[in-house]
Structures are given as structure tokens and as C-alpha cells.
Amino acid sequence: MASSSSTHAEIVRDAGAVLTIDGRKGIGQVVAFEAMEYGIERAKKLGVCTVGLRNAHHIGRIGHWAKQCAKAGMVSFHFVNVAGDSLVAPFGGTDRRFGTNPFCAAYPRDGKDPLVLDFATAGIAYGKTRRVQ
């Protein structure tokens, strides 16, 4: 299926507090927003929710989705698998073996912006190494 602005996230497996959501190769920012909305709704109902999003194009900065959860009063942890693009050498290694696999966590705070921790496992963002001078 080709990506289009009308492609939306779809719950393909519902195990209560665990949702598997297919982005259907849609625009990353659209399907990631929808996936977070599903997760927030389920967490409010059950107290916790784990969301797996697959088949999504690049979803951008992970901290954006963590803030979406924090603004809804939820603590969130985000683990991202960047498949097929080996950019990072393991500790002590010399050859690239892993994707950058970002991690993010967010905590809501009364009357303040949420506390957000957002980073990749690489020493430098890949986009910065490709910047044209």
C-alpha cells in the first residue's frame, strides 16, 4: 500500500493493555499521533498500556510523542528500533552493527513543562554528519 495523507493507524492486535498498531506505511507523524492517542485512551482506562507501532515512515523526534503522553498526564517510555541502517558500533567495537535505536522518557509535572529525556545511542545525530557545508 502506498503512503497517503488518508492512511491512518490501525489496531491489528488488542490484548487489553498491549496494543499492536500498524501504521500501514502512512505518514509517520500522522500514524504516531494516532498510536499515542490509542495508548493514552487505553492507559486511562486500564492504568497502563504498551503500544507497538509498525510499518510507519519516519516519525520524527521521539520527544514529541512523549510530550503528547505527558500532556495527557501519563508517564511514558519510548524504545525505537531503527531497522536496516547500521550506524553504531557496539562498545569497544570498530565496525557499525546496530541502528541508532533512540530512547525517550517523559514525566508530567503540575504547572510546568513535562520533564523529557530524549536521546539516541549514537555519539552524534546521523543527520548532522550528512549536513552539507
The rounded percent of the chain whose pLDDT value lies above 90 is 62
Alpha helices in the chain (DSSP H): 28-46, 62-71, 126-129
Q: Whole-model pTM above 0.75?
A: yes
Beta strands 18-26; 50-56: pairing state: parallel
- Return the domain boundaries, the chain: 10-129
Grid cell digits, residue 127: 543527520
Q: What is the pLDDT of residues 75-94, one digit of tens each?
A: 999 998 766 667 777 778 78
Measure the CA–CA gap between 96 and 93, rounded to whole angstroms. 8
Topology classification of domain 10-129: Ribosomal Protein S8; Chain: A, domain 1 (3.30.1370)
- Select the more confidently predicted residue: 4 or 39: 39
SS3 96: coil
Angle of helix 28-46 versus helix 62-71 axis, rounded to 10: 30
AA letter at 71: K
